[in-house]
A = this chain, B = another copy of it.
Amino acid sequence: MAQRHIIIVVIGSSTCPQEISQIAYEVGKGIAQKGGILICGGLGGVMEAASQGAKEAGGLTIGLLPGIEKKEANPYIDIPIVTGLSIARNAILVRSSDAIIAVSGGYGTLSEIAFALQLQIPVVELLSWKLGMPIIEANTALEAVEIAF
């Protein structure tokens, strides 16, 4: 039998300033240190920083790519899932998670938070969309990971 690890999905923009990137890195690292598997959209920015953090802590990373090519994946993705679905892949990302951590992020991230709320999947946010309850606001990467687990 397979041993099901906790799956945490990290969402956020494909480009981001250095301080957001640093937070995402720590989120990814924390997920791996707690034995979780990181799934993200597989691209740059928050996704890449979180993947790097997870990899450097010895974790496993999966990227659900929107496009049609494996090479679209950032270099810290172990397993690229090539959806070819464009933004519709956001729905799969959300559905596949046990909990979601949103780090900053724009409208794409908002669509994912909305899906999570619709599907009643726990969302923790760090410097991201403030929609009120039931989204849980975290103040640090570590706190976000603690809450997600």
A residues near B (Cβ < 8 Å) are: 1-5, 7, 37, 39, 51, 55, 60-62, 64, 68, 75-92, 95-96, 106-108, 110-111, 114-115, 117-119
How far apart sit A37 and B118, CA to CA, in the bound complex (Å)? 28
Give every chain B residue within 8 A of A88 (Cβ-Cβ).
84-85, 88-92
Q: Taking the nearest CB of chain B, how far is it from the CB of A80, in angstroms?
A: 7
New A-B pairs, 14, CB < 8 Å, besides A64-B81, A85-B91, A86-B91: A1-B55, A2-B61, A7-B79, A60-B60, A62-B62, A68-B95, A81-B92, A82-B95, A84-B92, A85-B88, A85-B92, A88-B91, A88-B92, A90-B91
Q: Which residue of B lies closest to A118 (CB)?
A: B107
Give Cα A64–Cα B95 distance, bound, in whole angstroms.
12
